[in-house]
Structure 1
Amino acid sequence: MEAPLAPARRAEQPEREAQRPQGPELSTDAVDRPRHAQGRPLGLVSAGRPRAVVVVTGSELVRGDRRDANGPYLAAELGRLGLEPSRIVIVGDAETELEAAVRDGLEADLCVLTGGLGPTHDDRTVEVLARVTGRRLVVDEALEREIERVSRAVAERLRRPYGDFAGGVRKQASLPEGATALGLAGTAPAVLLQVDGRVAVALPGPPGELRRLWSKVVESGPVGQLLERVGAPERRVLRFFGPSESAVARALDEAGGEGEGLAVTVCARDLEIHVDFVVEPGGEARAEALESALRDRFPAELFADDERPVEELVLQACRSRGWKLGAAESSTGGLVAARLTSVPGSSDVFVGGVVAYANEAKEAALGVPRELLATHGAVSAEAAEAMAVGARERLGVDVAVAVTGIAGPGGGTADKPVGLVFLHGQSPETAAAREVHLPGDRDDVRARATALALHLLRRLLIQPGTNARARAG
């Protein structure tokens, strides 16, 4: 069960909820990882669905300098469309590794390649695709003209000579014979090639460019023919805050678990537990039974049955009441504000945030009394409350949340160890405070404190369970 919020009192006698490591938000059970409800491999239910392989190229990804965002995005999109994403392969820019990955990927019905479409010597994806499929490279003259036009515009905008870009134009316009360019994002094209009844697609590596071109891939004739072979499965999701991943998985098992036509995945994400249902024809009754069992077992912890993030729910709750929202952050350093402003249209609700890290900033920007900080410390329930009060006053908002804590690795003491976080939320109607002890490294503590702050706001603004729509039947 979600622990009830502790009503906030005046600073001299705060009531706060102290929790030791337990429950999903405080344990390693909350580490982001997918887990199948009955231990089978992740994937769609039907083995007859067209298979897809994603090949991500980039030596910076293999070295760990950057994190891959394209593989997970494409896998989710492919599954949503009804294809079976069988694996994601990450390889460096070396030709031998890339060639082996492309050959392997072309065994699937659809092979999606990302990265390596730029103008430099180590952008080799198109050349390797041509070699593996036995095609020669030919210049697409219309594509060359379009890339030149874009390159000249970029050169003018950056006030650089076009000659700096000219060398890569012909390279990027060279495609395997028979391939089609589906459009440009920057100067990199999306490339589609049919190979012996299978489809290969090459997309730019920058996530923003890839996502802009993905719709053109889905709308293309060859991919459309793959999608016509089988309809997309029904997908459902239940999202909980409070129970552990293990408790949810156990509840699913006790309710009978999966059956023919149904796959269920339990995943911990940002202290939330997401239960994803992939329902094929014939699996509807089993899905309804499992969904009902979870709704009955965790009614107060269920906060959504769609993909809207908690920050969007918080903003909508404020919007429906005509309330403005603000944040006061210390240890999270603006992460709460970042998540709120990541939602399009948030500016009509979210006024702003104050990152007050040092005591002097807490005093100057939020009006936290120096005497309070000297007596109770910056990491205390009293400081969190004063920060929230200050945010409401200084930002002129109706609702405010404050976060202060010790993210580590240093700074902890026996009385106030690393991972100790205090949160405080206030609205025109009520206030709530929370004290938690979070596990993990600095990044973990900050990310989890951010999620807790958003859920504190959600529970302050919305009655538990009211955000999830009741499903008929």
Structure 2
Amino acid sequence: MTRPRAAVVVTGSELVRGERSDLNGPFYAQEALRLGLQPARIAIVGDDPVELETVLREAFDADVCLVSGGLGPTHDDRTIELVAKVAGVGLRLDEGLEAEIEAISRRFAERMRRPYADFVAGVRKQATLPEGGISLGIAGTAPGVVLDAGSCVVVVLPGPPGELQRLWPRALETEPMRRVLGRTTEPERRILRMFGVSESAVAKALADAGGDGDGVEVTICARDFEIHVDLVVEPGMGARADELERDFLGPLEEYVFGRDGRSVQEVVLERCRAEGLTLGTAESCTGGLVAGRLTSVPGSSEVFRGGVVAYEDAVKHDLLGVPEELLRAHGAVSAEVAEAMAAGARERLGVDVAVSVTGIAGPGGGTPEKPVGLVFIHAAGPMGERPVRIEIPGEREWVRARSAATALHLVRRLLES
């Protein structure tokens, strides 16, 4: 059975200019896949009405068109009028929606000490919907709307990701969306995460196993210095997926660190939590990136005690207890200093497990003996120690980000030993 197709249209000139990254397109696509729709395309378009109309007409060829942005009160917020134009319907003022937006706008006008008259035109604009459109209410002041355009169901939600995601469940409850989703069967997704192997090696392993197809779609993506492999399994094709996964992963099993979509920082924190271990960091060239990734996980405080960003040699000595003679003899960027930093973090932070990072991120500071991109990482805990020396080609931020990822995976491997 062919799955209904979903096209995503993300609007905003700031996205086209590269001033802001798109978060709504990936959210829409992931939700579409989860619900059994087939994500067909994601289009990012600016606020130019000709460009937006063209993209919308193409997207209306899908069974579902998911749109974000362009619902505000200003002159360049044109999404609703253009959706109505492409659908061939008129516009109407939703009085209930107008009253809801007016109440919020009046409170804002009072706080800003501005006359409400300044907001009237914008309120009416935001409360104007395509004929036949179903209002989803508001999350902010911009409304969401679902429109049955015949061969296509159109969902239009606000651009701010938080507002869009709050209104999305309401869109799924509408009759037009329930009707489309009634034609779908949610596929099974198998999520594999690997580290330490190249994308080409993973692709070769898949090809050697016979490749995907026959109800199993495999995507391979290098992301965050890992290889992410997703299997989308159509109903009834579980045995085929089992066989492909077994043959495909045979030569790659040692690189697999996750099968449930969790990030490496989540894996590390859960492993520490399960074993009753506390964790700390000592960072130089990464400047707190490792600690940042760990603390991005809710509940990390149960495991993570803290970190030290020791950039200067004096800080390495004063806060981490790295001996001055060690710094003089080997230099700050060395295996010896990385080991001492990890030991110092364990002692000074009072943690069971610590990881340290010291290196030359560039663009300057390198020498023939210690070039830019040279990084030493050391993980230590009651189960032992794991050092690693890597040379990372590329720009400064690339070196820093890859070093942080490698440090987290080094801790993971230490905890697994």
- TM bucket normalised to smaller: over 0.9
Whole-angstrom distance in 2 between the partners of 1:140 and 1:71: 28
**Structure 2 matches for 1:90-239, cutoff 5 A?**
90-153=44-107, 159-161=111-113, 163=115, 166-167=119-120, 168-239=122-193
Whether contact under 8 Å (2:383, 2:414) holds in the other structure is no
The residue number in structure 2 matching 1:444 is 398
The residue number in structure 2 matching 1:82 is 36
Whole-angstrom distance in 1 between the partners of 2:156 and 2:312: 48
Whether contact under 8 Å (2:359, 2:374) holds in the other structure is yes
Whole-angstrom distance in 2 between the partners of 1:311 and 1:301: 16
User: Alpha-carbon deviations, 1:23-82, whole Å to 9, x = none?
Assistant: xxxxxxxxxxxxxxxxxxxxxxx6x21111111111111112222222122112211211
| Alignment of 1:397 onto 2:330 | no
Secondary structure in 1 matching 2:22: coil
Whole-angstrom distance in 2 between the partners of 1:370 and 1:66: 45
Match of 1:262 among 216, 230, 235: 216
Whole-angstrom distance in 2 between the partners of 1:218 and 1:76: 14
Name the CA shift for 1:382/1:234 in 2 (closer, same or farther; >3 Å): same
The residue number in structure 1 matching 2:292 is 338
Name the CA shift for 1:394/1:152 in 2 (closer, same or farther; >3 Å): farther
1:147 deviation in Å?
Answer: 2.0
The residue number in structure 1 matching 2:274 is 320
Whole-angstrom distance in 1 between the partners of 2:354 and 2:222: 27
| Alignment of 1:460 onto 2:397 | no
Whether contact under 8 Å (1:381, 1:422) holds in the other structure is yes
Which residue type is aligned with residue 133 of structure 2? A
Which residue type is aligned with residue 262 of structure 2? R
The residue number in structure 1 matching 2:368 is 414
Whether contact under 8 Å (1:262, 1:286) holds in the other structure is yes
The residue number in structure 2 matching 1:68 is 22
1:429 deviation in Å?
Answer: 2.5
Name the CA shift for 1:402/1:260 in 2 (closer, same or farther; >3 Å): same
1:153 deviation in Å?
Answer: 4.9
Which range moves more in the overlay, 256-265 or 134-143? 134-143
User: Alpha-carbon deviations, 1:160-208, whole Å to 9, x = none?
Assistant: 2354873432222221122122132221221111111421111111222
1:409 deviation in Å?
Answer: 2.1
Over the aligned positions, Cα root-mean-square deviation in angstroms equals 1.9
Which range moves more in the overlay, 209-218 or 271-280? 209-218
Whether contact under 8 Å (2:185, 2:235) holds in the other structure is no
1:112 deviation in Å?
Answer: 0.9
| Alignment of 1:386 onto 2:340 | yes
Whole-angstrom distance in 2 between the partners of 1:269 and 1:444: 12
| Alignment of 1:56 onto 2:10 | yes
Whether contact under 8 Å (1:330, 1:403) holds in the other structure is yes
Whether contact under 8 Å (1:259, 1:283) holds in the other structure is no
Which residue type is aligned with residue 119 of structure 2? A
Name the CA shift for 1:367/1:94 in 2 (closer, same or farther; >3 Å): same
Whether contact under 8 Å (2:35, 2:184) holds in the other structure is no
Secondary structure in 2 matching 1:108: coil
- What is the aligned-residue identity percentage? 61
Whether contact under 8 Å (2:4, 2:180) holds in the other structure is yes
1:155 deviation in Å?
Answer: 5.8
Whole-angstrom distance in 1 between the partners of 2:166 and 2:281: 32
Which residue type is aligned with residue 271 of structure 2? A
Name the CA shift for 1:327/1:183 in 2 (closer, same or farther; >3 Å): farther
Whether contact under 8 Å (2:68, 2:156) holds in the other structure is yes
Q: What is the TM-score normalised by the length of structure 1?
A: 0.83
Secondary structure in 2 matching 1:64: coil
Secondary structure in 2 matching 1:143: helix
Structure 2 unaligned regions, length at least 5: none
Whether contact under 8 Å (1:151, 1:162) holds in the other structure is no
Secondary structure in 2 matching 1:193: strand
The residue number in structure 1 matching 2:253 is 299
1:129 deviation in Å?
Answer: 1.4
Which residue type is aligned with residue 161 of structure 1? R
User: Alpha-carbon deviations, 1:140-173, whole Å to 9, x = none?
Assistant: 22222222333455567xx423548734322222
Whole-angstrom distance in 2 between the partners of 1:130 and 1:370: 71
User: Alpha-carbon deviations, 1:86-144, whole Å to 9, x = none?
Assistant: 11111111111111111111111111111111222222111221222233332222222
Match of 1:329 among 265, 274, 283: 283
Name the CA shift for 1:302/1:140 in 2 (closer, same or farther; >3 Å): same
Name the CA shift for 1:399/1:104 in 2 (closer, same or farther; >3 Å): same
State the structure with bigger RCO (CA 8 A, min sep 6), 1 or 2: 1
Whole-angstrom distance in 2 between the partners of 1:75 and 1:259: 21
Which range moves more in the overlay, 95-104 or 171-180? 171-180
Which range moves more in the overlay, 176-185 or 92-101? 176-185
Question: Would you tell me which structure has more helix in proportion to its own residues?
Answer: 2
| Paired residues, number | 415
Secondary structure in 1 matching 2:7: strand
Whole-angstrom distance in 2 between the partners of 1:365 and 1:118: 51
1:357 deviation in Å?
Answer: 2.2
User: Alpha-carbon deviations, 1:223-261, whole Å to 9, x = none?
Assistant: 121111020111112222222222222122222222311
Q: What is the TM-score normalised by the length of structure 2?
A: 0.94
Whether contact under 8 Å (2:205, 2:249) holds in the other structure is no
